[in-house]
Structure formats: structure tokens, C-alpha cells
A and B are shown apart, each in its own frame.
Chain A
Amino acid sequence: MEQFKGKSIFHKIAIGKIFYYEKNQFTVKRSKIDNFEQEMERFENAKKIALEQLQGLYEKALKEVGEANAAIFEVHMMMVEDDDYNDSICNIMKEQQLNAEYAVATTGDNFAQMFAQMDDDYMKARAADVKDISERLIAVLSGTSADMGKMAEPVILVAEDLAPSETVQMDKSKLLGFITKLGSSNSHTAILAKTMSIPAIIGVEIQKDWNGKLCIIDGYNGLITIEPEDDYLKEMTEKMEEEERQKQLLKELKGKETVTIDGKTIHLYANIGGVGDTASALQNGAEGIGLFRSEFLYLEQDHYPTEEEQFQAYKTVAENMAGKKVIIRTLDIGADKQVDYFNMDKEENPAMGYRAIRICLDRIDIFKTQLRALLRASAFGNISIMFPMIISVHEVLRIKEILQEVKMELKGQGFVYKEVEIGIMIETPASVFLSDELAKEVDFFSIGTNDLTQYTLAIDRQNPKLDSIYDAHHPAVLRSIQMVVDNGHKNGIWVGICGELGADTSLTETFLRMGIDELSVSPSFVLEVRKTVRDLDLSHS
């Protein structure tokens, strides 16, 4: 497995065999002629044929890649007929008594050089056009064909450089991507790649022996991989399939409402684990952030994140989401997520141990720092705060007390904040049973199905031996969800799901019938869930 970097033209993945394309290397012979008229006639004939070919290419391009891309062949035709170009060729033949091929080659080089020396990137790129028409003329004169070899299966095309006349002749259905050594973002190859929506990487030190080898183009990172290892191939294949699915869904669903056929609307939010994920949440059409895991701030560092560091992160997400809801969950470490500088004791049973809100209510200083940062960020968007691992009403009352203290402090120090909604995660059986009382104290519930399943079924989800009986569809889990929804609604608060089960489209209908108000899923699942919701009709049972 070998990897190379280049400049990416189109963000997409392609996987396929390499077809190494080499131009016919015209070695143009310089020879004396006796009869200028005869040579002139030969040139005029070649010109006629070249123009016919170009007209054919223009029509083909017009059909396949549209007017804007076809226009270049019109320009080529005009170039072939350009007075100066023709005068120069004619002169060399006449004055120096040299053959047409040589005259064309020399003239082509001179004009190409003129463009290459201009101080304008667009004009510089036109040198390729002059070379292209000259090569075409020489090919006709010398009876060789400038046509591109036929490709039997879809390939990734590797070439030093590609002229528009070469790219247009290719069978587009057989093209997965381009890799070239030369070319610029202004080149026809680049424009064509964009028009065709296929990845292209330029500026790569290409090698002839790549021909026929398997290759992956990662257009997101400008990376090409020759003879990829199995693991990487599998990973990229999955990514590519995912990409394809998303593309289809995006076409259909971006910007559409998450509403069933019979008119029931549900909020569809995204789970994110860092500031950088906001872009993917928005790209995939999430209506908000249903779970922002704040742990990353603690896990990525070797010290307690400061109020300022946290404030900046929360503020950025709130601003990027531009008024859409952003639900941030307070620190949820412990169990499978350990942080060295917290210096926590080793536990026999960490899943049931010192974690999440239990740490926060024990080490109030850490908790208060986070709450201060969250409240300060609330002024910049639509933030809600959510607390994990709740087992009692007492905990919620204590949290609200601390929150009130923090607000008073901030007010005293002249900071602005908004009145944020607060909610709790429902992920322990205790919180399920107490959901009627808890609902009176908070603005929303969000059900964390992963932990709820683990605690309800008493199955350690880290233990691979238990995988076969760890069943999130277990009736006990589903009944718990129903109970939470009912208790929430009785008390006028909304209830959502932010665990992995939220993205399980085999349960979407069940959740909607239960009365779930919100689903928060990984960004890449948003559109799939939306599609499922939009295909549902709850009026029939």
C-alpha cells in the first residue's frame, strides 16, 4: 500500500483500477520539401479534417457535458483558423522549405510559449489548447490517431496531463476519477471533473507501473492510495457507499420537514461530539443539536478545561447553529470514559460507579466552571442544558440550586445569560420509575437508550460475551420508554431519544406511535430517519 498527496478538485471518493494514459509521442521529423504548393495542400486537407473532428467533439461534448464545457472546442476551431497561426505555418513551409508537420509543431510551440509566459493564470492554461490543436493537426498529417484507447471497465484515469479533446472522447460512464501530474484548478480536467461530479487529484508524481493496479482516491483529503490494504479498502468502500446513500437522500430530503404523511411532526436533531461536527450536522439537514457531548473538552486535554476554553467551544456551536436548538450535556465521564487528571480510584464496577452527575455533585468546583461557561454561551444562541445519570428528584433539586447560585454569581459579575431550558437524561431504571415526579422539575427528558438497556437488563455492554442477549428492542426497554413519554406528556414536557436506538429505523414507527417528540441521531443518520418518518402514515394501524 502506497499513498500520495495532491491537490483535490472534487470532494468525493473513487475506487477502481488505474488506466495509465500516455499520449502518442509524436516525434516530428524535420524534412526538406521540394514542392511548397503540394505541402500547402496537404496542410489544408489536414486542417479540414481536424476541423471536422473538432466539430464532432463539440457536438459530443454539448450532449454529454453541456454548453460551458463544449465551448472549448469552438475555441479550438477558431484557433485552427487563426490568421497568425496559419501565416506562421505557411511561412515556415514556404521560406524554409520544411514539411508541414515540422511547421505545425514549431508554430504550436511558439504560440504555446507565448501563452505560458503571460502573467494571467487563465491565459497560461491556454498554452495547453494550442498544443492540443497542434498535436491534432500533426496526428492527421502523419496518419496516426489521437484517439483515446477504449476502456473496458470503469477506471481511474492517470495521465501526465489531459487535453480537453482527450477527455471528451472518453466514455464518461467508464470514468471514476482523474489523477494528473500537471493541470491547475483552471484546467479543463478540473472543470470537467466538477461537471461530472467525479474526484480528481492534480499535482501527483504519477508512475507508469500503476497501470492496472487498484487505487483509491480520497477527494476529501487529496489522498491517493495504490494497492490499498484490505482494512483500508473496506473502510473506504463503506464510506463511498454511505456517501452515495447520503447523496440520494440529500437530493430528496434536504430542507424538508420531518413529518409523517398524516401530518405528525417530530424534531430531528443530531448528536455531536465536538465543535467540528457542527458542519456535518448542518450539511445533513439536522434541525438542531439534540446531544452535544461535552466530554471531549475534558478527554482531549491534560488539565481541567478552563471556563474560557469551554465558553468558546459552546459559543461557537451555538453561533454556528444560528438559533437552532443546541442541547449540551454536562460532563459524563467515568465508566468507559476515563480521564487521567481526575485521579479517580480504580473501581470494581465502573458502570455503576463514580461517574457523570455523581462526580459533578461531589466536586462542585468542576461542575460550576462548566455551568458558568454554558450560561455565558447561552447569550449567543439557543442553548439547553442536560444532566446525565439522574436517579433521584433530590439530585435534580440540588442541580437547580447550584445553577441558581451560578446565575447569581454571573449576574453579580456583570455577565449576560439567557434563561435556558434544562432537561435530564433518562438512562437509569430509577429515573424511569420516578419520571412522573422528575417531569415536574425539568423542561424535557432525553432517553439514553444505551445505558438504559444496560441497566434495565443488567447486561454490561462492554462484555462481548453478552452481545447476543444485549437487546435494545427488549420489551422492558420499550415499556420504559412508553412510561417516560406518558409521564412527560402528563406534565407538559417534551420527551426525546438521543441513544443509538433513535437511529434504528425499524423502531421509528413505534416511537412515533408512543408519542416521542424528538429523535437525536448521528449526523449521517439524520436523512435516513427523516425519510422513514416521511414515509409513515400513522392514521392506519
Chain B
Amino acid sequence: MKQFHFTVQDELGIHARPAGLLAKEAKLYKSKITITKNDRTVEATKLMMIMSLGVKKGEEVVVSVEGEDEEKAFEAMETFFKENL
């Protein structure tokens, strides 16, 4: 399993649109991708669940990737967070 920490820079936090794009992106990989804020963990493929985390600007999340294509998925997630959030 691979993990990285990310502090959200976007003014609105993880709002609807990036959450949607994230879910789309996460569906491209076989690995199980999760996002954790405090002690709540949700699957990255689930738009409404990601939104329900209510991640605001300046808050930290932990992104975990586990599965057969975790190298590729990990890299893709890192790039996605940096570019979109």
C-alpha cells in the first residue's frame, strides 16, 4: 500500500467539481483508492462520499492506494491533487 498526505489549497476546498473529476479518475484504476480526513475514510470513486468529507482549504487528507496497479494509480493521484486541489 502506498500513501501520501496532501493539504488542500483550493479556495472552496474539495468542492463538487474536483470531487467529480477525482471519482472519474479513481475509477480508471483497479487499485482501491481511499481518502481519509481525521478518522473518516471514504472511497475515492464515490463522489457524494468525497463531498461529504467537507474538506476545506488548508485541511489535510491522506490518500491511500492499494492493488495491482498501485504504482500507476499513486502517481496519477498525486498529479491529480497537485493540479486540481
B1-42 contact mask (Cβ, 8 Å, vs A): 1 or 0: 000000000001101110010011000000000000000000
Whether the Cβ atoms of B48 and A84 lie closer than 8 Å is yes
Of A78, A84, A114, A129, which one neighbours B24 at CB under 8 angstroms?
Answer: A78
Q: Which residues of chain A in 77-102 are interfacial with respect to chain B, using CB atoms and an 8 Å cutoff?
A: 78-79, 82-85
Determine, out of A34-42, A119-127, A496-504, the stretch whose residues face the partner at the interface: A119-127
B20: which of A78, A118, A122 is its contact (CB, 8 Å)?
Answer: A78
Cβ distance B9 to chain A, nearest Cβ, rounded Å: 16
Which of A71, A79, A119, A129 lies at the interface centre, i.e. has the most chain B CB atoms within 10 A of its CB?
Answer: A79
Contact A74 B13 (CB under 8 A): no
Contact of A466 with B by CB under 8 A: no
Q: Does B79 contact A (CB under 8 A)?
A: no
Contacts of A85 in B (CB 8 A): 48
B16 contacts A72, C-beta separation under 8 Å: yes
If A115-B51, A120-B56 touch, whether A83 touches B24 (CB-CB below 8 Å) is no
A74 touches B54 (CB 8 A): no
- Let me know if A65 is at the binding interface, CB within 8 A: no
Q: How many A-B residue pairs have CB under 8 A?
A: 47
**B49 nearest in chain A by CB position:** A84
Chain B residues near A126 (CB-CB < 8 A): 16, 51
Binary interface encoding of chain B residues 41-59 relative to chain A, with 1 for a CB under 8 A from any of its CBs, else 0: 0010111110110101000
Complex: A74 Cα to B13 Cα, angstroms = 18
Instruction: Find out whether the CB atom of B16 lies under 8 angstroms from the CB atom of A82.
Output: no
Give complex CA distance A82, B47 in Å.
6
Which residues in chain A, 44-97, are within 8 Å of chain B measured between CB atoms? 71-72, 74-75, 78-79, 82-85
CB < 8 Å neighbour of B54 from A72, A79, A119? A119
A83 touches B46 (CB 8 A): yes
Given contacts A71-B17, A120-B13, contact A82 B52 (CB under 8 A): no
Q: Which one of A78, A114, A119 lies within 8 Å of B47 (CB-CB)?
A: A78
Tell me which residues across on chain B come within 8 A of A470, comparing CB atoms. none
Please name all residues of chain A whose beta carbon is closer than 8 Å to the beta carbon of B52 when the two chains form the complex. Answer: 114-115, 118, 123
Min CB gap A413→B, angstroms: 52
Task: State whether the Cβ of A111 lies closer than 8 Å to any Cβ in chain B.
Answer: yes
Taken together as a complex, chains A and B put the C-alpha atoms of A119 and B53 apart, in Å, by: 11
CB contacts (< 8 Å) of A130 on chain B: these are 48
Minimum CB distance partner of B56 in chain A: A120
Q: Contact partner of B48 among A71, A74, A82, A122, CB < 8 A?
A: A82
Contact in complex: A83, B45 (CB < 8 Å): yes
A75 to B17: give the CA distance in the assembly, Å. Answer: 6
A130 to B54, CA, bound (A): 16
Q: Which residues of chain A have C-beta atoms less than 8 A from B24's C-beta?
A: 78
Asked whether A129 and B49 contact (CB < 8 A) given A78-B24, A118-B54, the answer is: no
Give the residues in chain B near A75, CB-CB below 8 Å. Answer: 16-17, 20
- CB A151 to nearest CB in B, in angstroms, measures 29
* Chain A residues whose CB sits within 8 angstroms of the CB of B15 once the complex forms: 122
Q: How far is the CB of B22 from chain A (nearest CB, A)?
A: 10
Contact A84 B46 (CB under 8 A): yes
> How far is it, in angstroms, between the C-alpha of A78 and the C-alpha of B25 when the chains are bound?
12
A79 touches B47 (CB 8 A): yes
Q: Which residues of B contact A83 (CB under 8 A)?
A: 43, 45-46
Closest residue of chain A to B24, judged by CB? A78
Measured CB to CB, the nearest residue on chain A to B22 is: A78
Q: A74-B20, A120-B56, A123-B54 are in contact. Are A79 and B13 (CB under 8 A)?
A: no
A129 close to B46 (CB less than 8 A)? no
CA distance A82 to B46 in the complex (A): 6
- Interface hits, A103-125 → B, CB 8 Å: 111, 114-115, 118-120, 122-123
Contacts of B20 in A (CB 8 A): 74-75, 78-79
Task: Determine whether the beta carbon of B48 is less than 8 Å from that of A123.
Answer: no
Alpha-carbon distance between A278 and B11 when the two chains are bound, in angstroms: 34
How long is the Cα–Cα vector from A303 to B12 in the complex, in angstroms? Answer: 53
Considering the chains assembled together, what is the distance between the CA atoms of A72 and B24 in angstroms? 15
Contact of B23 among A78, A118, A119 (CB under 8 A): A78
Q: Using CB atoms, name the residue of chain B closest to A111.
A: B48
CB of B12 within 8 A of CB of A122, answer: yes
Give Cα A120 to B53, complex, Å: 11
Among A74, A114, A123, point to the contact of B17 (Cβ < 8 A): A74
CA distance A84 to B13 in the complex (A): 22
The minimal Cβ–Cβ distance linking B34 to chain A, given in whole angstroms, is 14
Q: Which A residues are in CB contact (< 8 Å) with B48?
A: 79, 82, 84-85, 111, 114, 130
Q: How far is the CB of B50 from chain A (nearest CB, A)?
A: 10
| Shortest CB distance A485–B (Å) | 56
**Which residues of A line the B interface, CB within 8 A?**
71-72, 74-75, 78-79, 82-85, 111, 114-115, 118-120, 122-123, 126, 129-130
* 10 nearest A-B pairs in the assembled complex, by CB-CB distance: A78-B20, A75-B16, A82-B47, A120-B54, A118-B54, A82-B48, A75-B20, A78-B47, A71-B17, A83-B46
24 A-B contacts, Cβ less than 8 Å apart? A71-B17, A72-B16, A72-B17, A74-B17, A75-B16, A78-B20, A78-B23, A79-B48, A82-B23, A82-B47, A83-B43, A83-B46, A84-B48, A84-B49, A85-B48, A114-B48, A114-B52, A118-B52, A120-B13, A120-B56, A122-B13, A123-B51, A123-B52, A123-B54
Given contacts A78-B24, A123-B52, could you give 12 more A-B pairs where the C-beta distance is less than 8 Å?
A72-B16, A72-B17, A75-B17, A78-B20, A82-B46, A82-B47, A82-B48, A83-B43, A84-B46, A85-B48, A114-B48, A120-B56
